[in-house]
């Protein structure tokens, strides 16, 4: 139990309590789905540590083995959880990516960044950028992981995530555009129920990132004001928002800001009526959750 002397800054039951001193109490015990490299399974998965110094890892998903290997679109996925919860192995994220890989015949890499507040922002952003650089290092077929060398088509790369993961993914995409990795072509960016800023201080973000204003003048919380936005790669960006999501208007604000920015790609948006934040992860068998999956797969195929 938390000390009686500690002041709760934010309480989000049944997920966590965040205290004004920057500590956190995660309420439910973590549940993890182990990877499975069964060659006969519809989707195989494995965990790879990419930075022994920090412990940052990725979970790689691939469809059933085919001989000879077939080059597949590559999806780089960054999970949500308010920057302070979750993992690539958490069942909602693992199951969502497994479904995309099976239905879309693609290969995916889910980033397992270090969590705040133990690792204050921007550490989760930087960990994800480190992971992307490691992934991009396979573009010439000489990387450390054989699955990426054999199966990933680095001319068909997509970056995205949901909630806080969408915020991080957008930052990674901008950095990738500035860096411009040889042999890597990012075709699209997908932002599902994204966590962006508005005119008011976001208390959670401010505690997790004390150097930020916590408002939409922070380029990570409002990438439309980032001077590097013109360099962001991809031909299209797709936003997913939900009618009853408290972050809905923030997602729409960045959608409108991106359309007016110096970025030259196409922007589209899909709204799920009557639904709340990340409902598709917790009620994956509903028609509206299936609609998100289907729209994403169409986005990958059309871009």
Helix 123-136 / helix 164-179 crossing angle, nearest 10 deg: 50
- Domain boundary assignment for the chain: 1-30, 38-302
Per-residue pLDDT at 14 exceeds 70: yes
Q: Is 3 a catalytic residue?
A: no
| Per-residue pLDDT tens digits for 251-286 | 999 999 999 999 999 999 999 999 999 999 999 999
Distance, in Å, from the CA atom of 60 to the CA atom of 54, rounded to the nearest integer, reads 19
Catalytic residue among 163, 212, 261, 272: 163
pLDDT for residue 40 = 85
* Coil/strand/helix, residue 85: coil
Separation of alpha carbons 283 and 53, rounded Å = 37
pLDDT of residue 9: 86
Helix (H, G, I), strand (E, B) or coil at 133: helix
Q: Has residue 2 got a pLDDT over 50?
A: no
Residue of 245, 261, 272, 280 with catalytic role: 245
Q: What is the pLDDT of residue 1?
A: 45
- Among the options 138, 193, 277, 280, which is catalytic? 277
- For the domain 38-302, what is the CATH superfamily, name and number? Alpha/Beta hydrolase fold, catalytic domain (3.40.50.1820)
| pLDDT given for residue 4 in this prediction | 56
User: Is 128 part of the annotated catalytic residue set?
Assistant: no
**What value does the mean pLDDT take over residues 279-303?**
96
User: For this structure, is 163 an active site residue?
Assistant: yes
Burial 132-166 (b: 16+ CB within 10 A, else e): bebbbbbbeeebebebbebbbebebbbbbbbbbbb
Provide long-range contacts, Cβ within 8 A and 24+ apart, for 289-297.
Answer: 292/192, 292/240, 293/99, 293/100, 293/103, 295/238, 295/240, 295/270, 296/100, 296/104, 296/190, 296/238, 297/100, 297/103, 297/104
Average pLDDT, rounded, for the chain? 94
What the block records as the tokens of 249 is: 């208007």
User: pLDDT tens digits for 122-165?
Assistant: 999 999 999 999 999 999 999 999 999 999 999 999 999 999 99
Task: List, for residues 60-109, the tens digit of each pLDDT value.
Answer: 999 987 776 789 999 999 999 999 999 999 999 999 999 999 999 999 99
Chain centroid offset of residue 300 CA? 16
Under DSSP, the state recorded for 188 is E
């Amino acid at each position: 139990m938390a000390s009686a002397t500690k002041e709760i800054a934010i309480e989000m039951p049944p997920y966590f309590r965040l205290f004004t001193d920057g500590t956190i109490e995660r309420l439910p015990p973590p549940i993890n789905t182990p990877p499975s490299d069964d060659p006969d399974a519809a989707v195989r998965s494995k965990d790879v540590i990419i930075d022994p110094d920090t412990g940052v890892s990725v979970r790689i998903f691939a469809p059933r083995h085919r001989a000879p290997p077939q080059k597949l679109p590559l999806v780089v996925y960054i999970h949500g959880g308010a920057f302070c919860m979750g993992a690539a192995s958490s069942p909602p994220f693992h199951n969502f990516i497994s479904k995309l890989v099976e239905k879309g015949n693609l290969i995916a890499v889910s980033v397992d960044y270090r969590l705040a507040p133990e690792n204050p922002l921007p550490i989760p952003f930087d960990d994800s950028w480190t992971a992307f650089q490691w992934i991009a290092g396979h573009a010439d077929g000489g990387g450390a992981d054989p699955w990426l060398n054999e199966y990933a088509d680095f001319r068909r790369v997509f970056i995205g995530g949901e909630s806080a993961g969408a915020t991080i993914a957008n930052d990674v995409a901008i950095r990738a555009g500035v860096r411009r990795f040889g042999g890597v072509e990012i075709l699209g960016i997908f932002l599902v129920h994204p966590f962006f800023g508005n005119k008011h201080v976001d208390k959670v973000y401010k505690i997790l990132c004390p150097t930020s204003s916590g408002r939409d003048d922070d380029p990570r919380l409002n990438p439309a004001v980032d001077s590097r936005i013109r360099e962001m790669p991809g031909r299209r960006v797709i936003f997913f928002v939900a009618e009853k999501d408290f972050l809905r208007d923030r997602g729409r604000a960045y959608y409108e800001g991106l359309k007016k920015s110096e970025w030259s790609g196409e922007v589209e948006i899909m709204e799920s009526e009557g639904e709340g934040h990340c409902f598709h992860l917790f009620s994956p068998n509903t028609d509206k959750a299936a609609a998100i999956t289907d729209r994403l797969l169409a986005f990958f195929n059309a871009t």
